[in-house]
C-alpha cells in the first residue's frame, strides 16, 4: 500500500498540469492530475485526498463550485486555490467558499511547496471528532441521540436544522465557514446573499450553548465570512 499523502492537481492546461504533478511527485507525494470537475469528483468518491490544488478557471464547473463541494464532503481535506495574479476577487471568493489558501499564477515551485506543506500541517492538527459526544461551550452535543446535554446530564432536544448546523460545526472545528454555504448545506437549497435565516439560527444556538450569548466563545463570528466553531480548551 502506498502511504504517501495523496494530492489531486485540478488544472485544465495539460502541460501545466503535468509539470505540477511531476514536481509534487519528486517531493514524495502521491499525485493525481485531472482536467475538470467530474474527474475530481470520481477520485474523491473513491478516496478523499489529503489536499486538492484547484485552479479557479476550469471549463464547465469552476473552482469555486468544486471547493464548496469538497468542503461539504470533508472539513479535513486541504484546498489551495490557484488564481490569476491580479484578481483579488478570486482570492477572497476562494477563501470564503472553504479554501485553506490560495496561490497566484505565475508562482515559484518552492512557494507552492511551502503552502502545500503548511495546509497539510494545519489539516493534520485539526481536532477530529473523537466520539459520539462533542463539547460545545457549556454543553455537549450527542451526535447519536441528537440532543444537547448539560453538566448534570439533563438533555434538550434539537430541531432537525439546529442539529444539522451543530453537526457541521463539529465536523469543521477552527475553520471559518461561509454564512451562505452553511445555509445551503443545512437547508439543502440555494439561497440569496441577503437571506439572514442562518443568523437567526446561530442566535438561538448561542442561547443554548454559550456561557454568555452576548460574548460567544464557542460559535464565533468571522467578519465578512460567517461563523467558526472553537472547541473548549479546558
C-alpha cell belonging to residue 143? 451526535
Of 80, 122, 121, the residue nearest 104 (C-alpha): 80
pLDDT at 125: 57
Domains and CATH numbers, the chain: 6-125 (3.40.50.2300), 133-229 (1.10.10.10)
pLDDT at 3: 73
pLDDT at 22: 96
pLDDT at 194: 42
Contact 60, 37 (CB under 8 A): yes
Contact 30, 120 (CB under 8 A): no
Contact 73, 48 (CB under 8 A): yes
**For residue 131, is it left (φ>0), alpha (ψ between -120 and 50) or beta?**
left
Of 162, 189, 161, 172, the residue nearest 226 (C-alpha): 172
The pLDDT profile of the chain, 234 residues, written as one tens digit per residue, is 567 899 999 999 999 999 999 999 999 999 999 999 999 999 998 888 999 999 988 888 888 889 888 887 777 789 998 887 555 555 566 556 678 888 888 889 999 999 999 888 876 655 554 457 899 999 999 988 889 998 888 899 888 888 889 988 988 888 888 887 787 666 644 444 345 678 889 999 999 999 999 999 999 998 888 899 998 876
Amino acid at each position: 500500500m502506498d502511504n504517501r499523502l495523496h494530492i489531486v492537481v485540478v488544472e485544465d492546461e495539460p502541460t501545466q498540469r503535468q509539470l505540477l504533478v511531476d514536481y509534487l511527485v519528486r517531493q514524495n507525494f502521491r499525485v493525481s492530475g485531472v482536467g475538470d470537475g467530474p474527474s475530481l469528483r470520481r477520485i474523491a468518491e473513491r478516496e478523499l485526498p489529503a489536499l486538492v490544488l484547484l485552479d479557479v478557471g476550469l471549463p464547465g464547473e469552476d473552482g469555486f463550485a468544486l471547493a464548496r463541494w469538497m468542503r461539504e464532503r470533508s472539513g479535513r481535506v486541504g484546498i489551495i486555490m490557484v488564481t490569476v495574479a491580479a484578481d483579488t476577487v478570486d482570492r477572497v471568493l476562494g477563501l470564503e467558499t472553504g479554501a485553506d489558501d490560495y496561490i497566484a499564477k505565475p508562482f515559484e515551485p518552492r512557494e507552492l511547496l511551502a503552502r502545500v506543506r503548511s495546509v497539510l500541517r494545519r489539516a493534520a492538527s485539526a481536532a477530529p471528532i473523537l466520539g459520539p459526544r462533542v463539547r460545545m461551550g457549556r454543553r455537549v452535543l450527542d451526535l447519536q441521540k441528537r440532543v444537547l446535554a448539560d453538566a448534570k446530564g439533563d438533555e434538550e432536544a434539537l430541531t432537525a436544522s439546529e442539529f444539522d448546523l451543530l453537526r457541521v460545526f463539529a465536523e469543521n472545528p477552527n475553520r471559518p465557514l461561509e454564512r451562505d454555504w452553511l445555509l445551503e448545506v443545512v437547508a439543502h437549497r440555494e439561497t440569496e446573499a441577503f437571506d439572514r435565516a442562518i443568523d437567526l439560527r446561530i442566535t438561538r444556538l448561542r442561547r443554548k450553548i454559550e456561557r454568555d450569548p452576548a460574548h460567544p466563545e464557542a460559535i464565533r463570528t468571522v467578519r465578512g465570512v460567517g461563523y467558526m466553531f472553537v472547541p473548549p480548551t479546558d
